[in-house]
A and B are shown apart, each in its own frame.
Chain A
Amino acid sequence: MNLSDSERVISVLDEAGYTYTDNEEEAGLIGILACSVRQKAIDKVYSRIHKWNKWKNHKNLITFISGCILPNDHEKFLKLFDITFQMKDMPKLPEMISRYGITTPVHLKTGIDPHNENIEEFWSVKPSYQSDFEAYIPIQNGCDKFCSFCAVPFTRGREVSRPSKDILAEVALLVSQGYKSITLLGQNVNSYGLDKKGEEITFSELLREVGELGNRMKKEFWVYFTSPHPRDMTDEVIEVIAQYPVLAKQIHLPMQSGDDKVLIRMNRKHNMEKYRQIVHSIRRILPEATLFTDIIVGFTGETEEQFENTRKTMEEFRFNMAYTAMYSPRPGATSHRWDDDVPLEEKKRRLHELTEELRKHNRIYNHNLLGKTMRVLVRGEDRKIGFLSALTEGKLIVRFPHENENLTGQFADVKITSASDFSLEGELVKVEELV
């Protein structure tokens, strides 16, 4: 989500005469788009801003912060940053900068607009895409789920769906410009449309429209979405994905825990029975799909037995990827009021165990791909010298020997020749189009 937001910020600042730089030290304007799910990210903000404020002793520098910020952090950030604003007010950022330090308040209103009333103005900003073959499209903002470990409902406000005609127009524009990988983004993508109470299409209908658009445009591209919530996941969504070639056969389904009692404490509003049903549907309807998940280990009160239930799900579901994080209490989230009672060493051990489980199953899955020819999207130079890095439709990493970086952003067929735990290696069979 932050990547998509960043693209829009860059676009607005580009219009205002700024140029994006990777070099922190040469910047005259530095901004942070904060993330509210993990406290670690916010801790990093504090460490960075203190450094930048020291730089102000010897250079002109303006700092700003936006994104997911809780009211308590907001108060502190007002003292540390020159400008703070909500994402929906981002189109006004150049105006805030121009007023900074002159005569007018830089920020007239703070806090969270829970109803995201001006979010459409933000969505209307044309993003400055950071890649010419991969793009992210926000389709929904905010969250109504109130998971106890997460502060998003308090930082991003309520679920608001972007008009489908705008989403489809952005998809069509990107595809016509040659984009090959498009990700539909939202805190709860599959509750898309529900806030409009019948006046907007549902998520499965939106996917169908994207699929139809793909058929009409007759171009090869892959469309992903993240993140869905198991509570709102339907067989219809999975069936639509199966029907259209442009809808990528990869599903990211956050589980968070494999134990019903932990899920209750997390206020997830899904149980393992429901999760199992969805995975069974995915395996039945989309047998070729890869499955990714998110897991938190060491959540408040998580016992060894409860963790063991999560570990067993690694065996049961054989995820292709699990983004696993050690629980860290986030101020503003309900769970912040509880004792963070699983010791750090224990959290590390649990994280390690899950990683090993993931490694074990990936090894088997990847070895089964040996000798197969897979369609990949080339993403650029690999860390391994003389190799290019690519992703399959299922987002598995494939590297293959090739010196020509011009293949970046192209589809290619690669025959898998070796497999390791978290990546594949192969040789180029065919490239779809050469620049």
Chain B
Amino acid sequence: MYFCPLIQQTKTEDLKKYTITAVRHLTESTFVLQLERNGLPFQTGQFVILRRPGTIDQREYTVYSGEQEDVLEVLVREVSDGKVTPELKKLQPGEEMEVDGPFGFFRFQPTMFPTQKFLFVATGTGISPFHSFVKTYPEHDYRLIHGVRYSEEAYEHNHFEKDKITLCTTGDKNGDFNGRVTDYLFTLKLDTDTQCFLCGNSEMIHEAFDILTGKGIPVQNIYTEVYF
């Protein structure tokens, strides 16, 4: 007679569940997932980890919504051959997600900084933390440069003040500037005490880092969040 260990089906440890309240499709591949807030505290710039209940694959997303809002929003771009985002895209209001967090040190409460001159540079969905910023601190001054391929990827630019945002497009000429954000950055005059926040792919961040330091911005005034 043989005895075998009885092993139950693998399941992940439960995280707190949040109900999806809305899904806003901004382009064919990019959407805002809105969840109930459930009092989750976070600071602008922080991220949360999302996971579908009963699964083990999870991803990190910077919070897109403002600190005072009753909902929690994240901006998601579908990676067509990805394991997680195609499933997230199918989600409907009323379904649940597991949320862990918030995490991260890419935080920018304006009073934390010695000067109030903010430059935000983003590519693609890297606009998320800056969207959260304008929702949280609508009265604060800033300058945002957002780089995308096509102008249709100007995700909810109507939430920003028009004269504070520059859309850089490489795939069409319908933006404010035709070229990469780093090309535009070259043309900018900046005070050396500007606090610079970079969010997006690492190539952009590396290039922008060189350009900004070349313009005399001290390294300690450059804050980065790489999107992977």
Contact = CB atoms under 8 A, between A and B. Distances in A.
Contacts, number: 78
A104 B205 CA distance: 53
Given A146-B103, A231-B105, A109 B11 contact: yes
B8 A108 contact: yes
Given A71-B56, A264-B205, A101 B10 contact: no
Interface stretch (A72-80, A382-390, A409-417, A419-427): A72-80
Contacts of A301: 202
Contacts of B220: 271, 273-274
Contacts of A335: 228
Interface string B103-123: 111000000000000000000
Contacts of A107: 7-8
Given A106-B5, A146-B60, A74 B228 contact: no
Interface residues on A, range: 35 or more
Given A144-B103, A146-B60, A264-B206, A106 B6 contact: yes
B190 interface: no
Given A260-B209, A265-B202, A334-B228, A105 B5 contact: yes
B19 interface: no
Nearest to B103: A144
B96 interface: no
Interface string A16-28: 0000000000000
Contacts of B218: 273
B206 A112 contact: no
A209 B209 CA distance: 42
B12 interface: yes
Nearest to A335: B228
Contact of A100 (B5, B13, B103, B206): B5
A77 B60 CA distance: 26
B224 A264 contact: yes
B226 interface: yes
Contacts of A265: 202, 226
Contacts of A104: 6
B104 A146 contact: yes
A231 B103 CA distance: 15
A129 B43 CA distance: 43
Contact of B228 (A71, A272, A338): A338
A82 B191 CA distance: 63
Contacts of B226: 148, 264-265, 267
Nearest to A86: B13
Given A146-B103, A264-B202, A264-B226, A111 B11 contact: yes
B40 interface: no
B125 to A, nearest CB: 16
Contacts of B219: 260, 271-273
A114 B4 contact: no
Interface in A94-110: 100-110
Given A264-B209, A334-B228, A110 B3 contact: no
Contacts of B56: 71-72, 75, 111
A266 to B, nearest CB: 9
Interface in B206-228: 206, 209, 218-220, 224, 226, 228
A405 interface: no
B10 A74 contact: yes
A72 B58 CA distance: 12
B57 to A, nearest CB: 8
B10 A75 contact: yes
Interface string A193-216: 000000000000000000000000
Contacts of B7: 78, 105-107
A270 B220 CA distance: 10
B8 A71 contact: no
A269 B12 CA distance: 29
Interface string B1-45: 001111110111101000000000000000000000000000000
B12 A112 contact: yes
B10 A114 contact: no
A126 interface: no
A28 B228 CA distance: 45
A113 interface: yes
A219 interface: no
Contacts of B67: none
B78 interface: no
Contacts of A113: 13
Contacts of B103: 144, 146
B7 to A, nearest CB: 6
Interface in B77-124: 100, 103-105
Contact of B3 (A102, A146, A148, A271): A102
Contacts of A78: 7, 10
A110 B7 CA distance: 10
A261 interface: yes
A107 B8 CA distance: 7
Given A260-B219, A261-B209, A273-B219, A82 B5 contact: yes
25 contacts: A71-B10, A82-B5, A83-B5, A100-B5, A101-B3, A101-B4, A101-B5, A105-B6, A106-B7, A107-B7, A107-B8, A113-B13, A114-B100, A148-B228, A260-B219, A261-B202, A261-B206, A261-B209, A264-B205, A264-B209, A271-B219, A271-B220, A272-B219, A273-B218, A337-B228
Given A74-B10, A106-B5, A114-B100, 14 more contacts: A72-B56, A75-B10, A82-B5, A100-B5, A109-B11, A110-B12, A111-B11, A112-B13, A260-B209, A261-B209, A264-B205, A264-B206, A265-B202, A338-B228
Interface of A: 71-72, 74-75, 78, 82-83, 100-114, 144, 146, 148, 231, 260-261, 264-265, 267, 269, 271-274, 301, 334-335, 337-338
